[in-house]
Chain A
Amino acid sequence: MVATILSLRWRTTLHSLRRDKWRILVVIAGAIWSISMVPSIFWAEYLLRLQLPDIRADAMTVIGAVIALGWVSVPLLVTGLDDTLDPTRFASVGMPARRLMPGLTVSAFLTVPAVFTLLAVALLATSWRGDAAAFAVALVGALLTVATMILSGRVAVAWAGRILTGRRSRIAAAAAALAGIALAIVIGRALLARGLESILEEDVPVLITALGTTPIAAGLAAPEFVRFDDWFSVGWRLAITAGWSVMLALAWRASVARSLVTPPTRTSGSARRDDRILFHAELADRVRSRLAAASVPLLGPVARGFARAMPSPEVRAVRSRALRYWASDPRYLAAGVGALVGPVLLFGILLPALGLPGWTAFLMPATVAMSLSWGRHNDVAYDSTALWVDVVSGRLGRRVMRGRLEALLLWATPVVVVSAVAAALVAERLDLALGLSLASLGVLGTTLGISAVLSVAMPYRAPQPGANPFGAEVGSVGAGLAAQVLSSLATAVTAPLVMLPFILAVVVHPAWSAVAAITGLALGVLGVVLGVRLSGDLYDKRSGRLLSAVV
């Protein structure tokens, strides 16, 4: 069974490489990067060897904890990286999870990142080779620790996907995440009050020692105790690491077993709801006719102007549909949460904990705006083949794209404004709140415009509807990479330009804040309008190619 699953995996990889030549470049780039890392790993090993055993053990603990964090978070934040076999594919074979697991496990350990991690950690462990007994313990500890890293990545993907599919578990997870972030901010600020130096001198060593007693890094801390002949400390550290990897393997097996008998889509039960699409259309019709019939002397023309400016029914239908997806589709939820997690962790926890000056908070709203709108550079592909409904209905490109953008703006605008006001509060510069808000909205609008055009010009394969949003098989990483690089470059150029007047407000004179507000608003609106027009026209021009581009 192991050989069958392994050969299956290699053959699918090989075929997708042959189908999508772009991917070969990615593999080569990954290989070059890995090889270029080798000298620095040898250098790190040399440095570690020169250290005293306790410092060496501490360093290994920190390195291990960072890599472990990477194994859990990277597959969740960067979707589409996971190229191990999707266990649900085996559902129809009728084979128990027990028989599948050995093959799945071996193939999970034979991915490029897994092999690279294993070699790197094992190489670093050779820094203990001065003492034969410690060296042996270090190697065993390194192997066990890498096993926990790889397995925790699998469990994280499986659980996160499951949490996002049920409404109740989604709400619970969101509440837990909020509580966790709040707690981290409170602890971060409490620590910060004591000053960075005392943290480095007192808390960090305590933290490292504590990490060395958890399964995350206990295996890497174990060799230090060999020189005291403290075999009890060595033993239980290796034992909890081994025990932890067994528990993770069991958890993974349980989720594979569950996914084999639980088809992905039919989870929401038979929730019944009213026709919101038509409700919104009728509501808008009523408002429009009320406005158009307004006969108050002065307000009449204004009201009629509003009635004319209201979006067309097509735009409203697309917007209602997109909002439904934002609220209920795990793929959109993962994208939205993923775009917010980075900035919140960076500015809410890391920077205050490092004690950086208050003005760094000003970077947060722009970063939030950028990551939210940059994430939409593959928006069209998220429709998958369902976009035929929009294509056969006529030449609706501009209206379809406007509806999509409005759906995002409807919830992203308040998020950006709130984070701008929060940043101004943290920096104690409420006078700059308006300028910061509008400048950040400018970044949101311009980046969204760029993303809209790219999502029509270069769509690439996204997770399919109903699939685990994190477990996307690598479809066309190459085309995806090109689109990501292009949209990142364009954003990296425009975003600082939009923020420039606000930077001047901080650095030169607060009066620039008013300029930042005006240019931010103007550029944001311009970005959205231009984005809708260009992407909409392109949508119509490419309508006969979009379907084949997104699958």
Chain B
Amino acid sequence: MRDRGYADRVNPALQLFGLRKAFGATVAVDGVDLTIPQGSFYGMVGPNGAGKTTTLSMATGLLTPDAGTVHVHGIDLWRDPDAAKPLLGVLPDGLHTFDRLTGAELISYSGLLRGLPADEVRRRRDDLLAALDLESAGRVLVTDYSAGMTKKVALACALVHAPRVLVLDEPFEAVDPVSAGAIRRILAAFVEDGGTVIMSSHVMALVERLCDRVAIVGSGRILAEGTLEEVRAGRDLEDRFVELVGDVADQRDLAWLRRS
């Protein structure tokens, strides 16, 4: 019997090895290897269609990979989902939620599915609604929410079972600055306490501000990976990003758009 505590200290929070996914003739993810250490705030950046969402879907059990493995704190996600899934908190991007439930009900639903006792669900639900400034919206159907509010309630669902690893796809998209501040504080405290956050984003400034490690993804591959300093190589993250993925080839002047 291995010592669980020792294994926890040694194993990375999330380890992707040789992940590959093709949709028909299009290869979305082409052999991604990533090691995300415990306690890191990990940013995944890349242009549209680079394979970020596909990679994160495979890393959270939503999409079966064609090849490769996913380990969460040393546990093979696709072989032993019973042990691995409770460790993960997931916020996907661009998917529906059960929007005929109210915000409060959606959080309760997630908590109950995660096996929490009812009184604990009630306590955490109320805490989350307050922390994410959703108290007044808790009794409104999610279908009547704005995009940012839907994002916030989905984040609450990802947090309710107190996971060890948070996998967040575009968590700040459409969220207003006040709520974004609240989310940043929650995530920072989570990481400080030994949790791990992996988030994808298009906003370089946000990644530079929050993350200590970064991966730049392009065409389904990892183009650069490491600590923020290593990836930046003494420059702006945005410049480095454009350099790696390549700028728009034909920078045509849209003369007809100008008024004079």
Show the binding face of A for B, using Cβ within 8 Å.
265-266, 268-278, 281-282, 285, 313-314, 316-318, 320-321, 324-325, 328-329, 383-386, 388-396, 464-466, 540, 543-545, 547-548
Contact = CB atoms under 8 A, between A and B. Distances in A.
B102 A275 contact: yes
Nearest to A317: B112
Contacts of A547: 57, 62-63, 95
B105 A389 contact: no
Quick one: which of A316, A320, A321 has the most chain B CB within 10 A? A321
A281 B112 contact: yes
B104 A275 contact: yes
Given A275-B105, A547-B63, A389 B144 contact: no
B63 A394 contact: no
Contacts of B143: 265-266, 268, 465-466
Interface of B: 57-58, 60-65, 78, 81-82, 85-86, 88, 90, 92, 94-102, 104-106, 108-110, 112-115, 117-119, 121-122, 125, 138-141, 143-144, 157
A396 B141 CA distance: 25
B157 A389 contact: yes
Contacts of B81: 394-395, 540, 543
A290 to B, nearest CB: 15
A313 B82 contact: no
Given A386-B96, A389-B157, A268 B86 contact: no
B108 A385 contact: no
A544 B109 contact: no
A223 B122 CA distance: 73
B186 to A, nearest CB: 19
Contacts of A318: 113
Nearest to B92: A388
Contacts of A320: 109
Given A395-B85, A544-B78, A547-B62, A389 B110 contact: yes
B90 A278 contact: no
Contacts of A266: 143-144
Contacts of A545: 63-64
Contacts of B117: 285, 313
Contacts of B118: 278, 281-282, 285, 313
Given A273-B102, A465-B143, 13 more contacts: A272-B139, A313-B117, A314-B115, A317-B113, A321-B98, A385-B95, A386-B95, A388-B90, A392-B61, A394-B115, A544-B63, A545-B64, A547-B63
Nearest to B105: A277
